[in-house]
Amino acid sequence: MREVQEPQLADTPEIIQSPVVGKRSSPCPLLFPKQSHPLSRTDRVFWSTGKTDIPSFACSPWDFYEKFCKLRSGSILVLCNDKSAVRVLKPLDVLSADEHVPIRHQNFVDICESYLYERQVLAITEFVGYSLEDNLQCGICPSEPEIAYIISQVLVGIRFIWSRKLSHARISARNVFVSPNGDEVKIDPTDFPSNDGQSSANMDCLKTLMLRMMHETSETLNKLLVEACSFEALNFMAATSWASPDELCDVSLAM
According to the model, what pLDDT value does residue 191 have?
79
Q: Are residues 156 and 198 in the same domain?
A: yes
pLDDT bin (cut points 50, 70, 90) of residue 215 is: confident
According to the model, what pLDDT value does residue 228 have?
60
According to the model, what pLDDT value does residue 77 have?
93
Domain edge (last residue) among 126, 147, 168: 126
Q: Give bridge partners of residue 103 from the DSSP assignment.
A: 51
Choose the weakest-confidence range: 9-23, 82-96, 148-162, 208-222: 9-23
Distances (CA, A) of 164 to 71, 117, 193: 32, 31, 18
Q: Are residues 92 and 62 in the same domain?
A: yes
Please give the backbone phi and psi of residue 19, each rounded to the nearest 5 degrees, phi first: -85, 45
Please, are residues 9 and 134 in contact by the beta-carbon 8 Å criterion? yes
According to the model, what pLDDT value does residue 244 have?
95
Question: Higher pLDDT residue, 185 or 37?
Answer: 185
| Residue 35 covered by a domain | no
Q: Are residues 107 and 135 in the same domain?
A: no
Please, are residues 148 and 185 in contact by the beta-carbon 8 Å criterion? no
CATH code at position 199: 1.10.510.10
Q: Are residues 136 and 175 in the same domain?
A: yes
Q: Are residues 102 and 136 in the same domain?
A: no
Per-residue pLDDT tens digits for 111-170:
999 999 998 899 999 999 989 999 998 888 899 999 999 999 999 999 999 998 888 888
Reported as half-sphere exposure (CB side, CA atoms, 13 A), residue 52 has a value of 17
Mean pLDDT, all residues of the chain: 78
Q: Are residues 172 and 233 in the same domain?
A: yes
DSSP label of 40: P
| Residue 15 covered by a domain | no
Q: Give bridge partners of residue 131 from the DSSP assignment.
A: 177
Does the pLDDT value for residue 251 go beyond 60? yes
Please, are residues 100 and 94 in contact by the beta-carbon 8 Å criterion? yes
Overall number of domains in the chain: 2
Sign of the alpha-carbon dihedral angle for 116, 157, 180, 177: negative
Domain edge (last residue) among 126, 148, 178: 126
Q: In terms of residue numbers, what domain contains 93?
A: 56-126
| Residue 27 covered by a domain | no
Per-residue pLDDT tens digits for 25-43:
444 555 655 544 444 444 4
DSSP label of 144: H
Question: Higher pLDDT residue, 174 or 71?
Answer: 174
Domain edge (last residue) among 126, 152, 185: 126
Beta strand segments in the chain, E: 56-57, 65-70, 76-80, 86-92, 111-117, 120-126, 176-178, 185-187
pLDDT bin (cut points 50, 70, 90) of residue 51 is: low
Q: Are residues 137 and 74 in the same domain?
A: no
Q: Are residues 172 and 200 in the same domain?
A: yes
What's the average model confidence in pLDDT over 206-229?
Answer: 80
Determine what percent of the chain falls in helix, strand and coil, rounding each to the nearest 5: 25, 20, 55
Whole-number CA gyration radius for the chain: 19
Question: Higher pLDDT residue, 52 or 88?
Answer: 88
| Residue 234 covered by a domain | yes
| Residue 114 covered by a domain | yes
| Residue 40 covered by a domain | no
Please, are residues 50 and 100 in contact by the beta-carbon 8 Å criterion? no
According to the model, what pLDDT value does residue 226 have?
53
User: CA-to-CA distance for 211 and 157, rounded, in angstroms?
Assistant: 19
| Assessment of whether the complete model's pTM goes beyond 0.85 | no
| Residue 101 covered by a domain | yes
Q: Are residues 87 and 178 in the same domain?
A: no
| Residue 181 covered by a domain | yes
Q: Are residues 107 and 185 in the same domain?
A: no
Please, are residues 19 and 166 in contact by the beta-carbon 8 Å criterion? no
According to the model, what pLDDT value does residue 122 have?
92
Q: Are residues 199 and 160 in the same domain?
A: yes
Q: Are residues 133 and 121 in the same domain?
A: no
CATH code at position 85: 3.30.200.20
According to the model, what pLDDT value does residue 10 have?
40
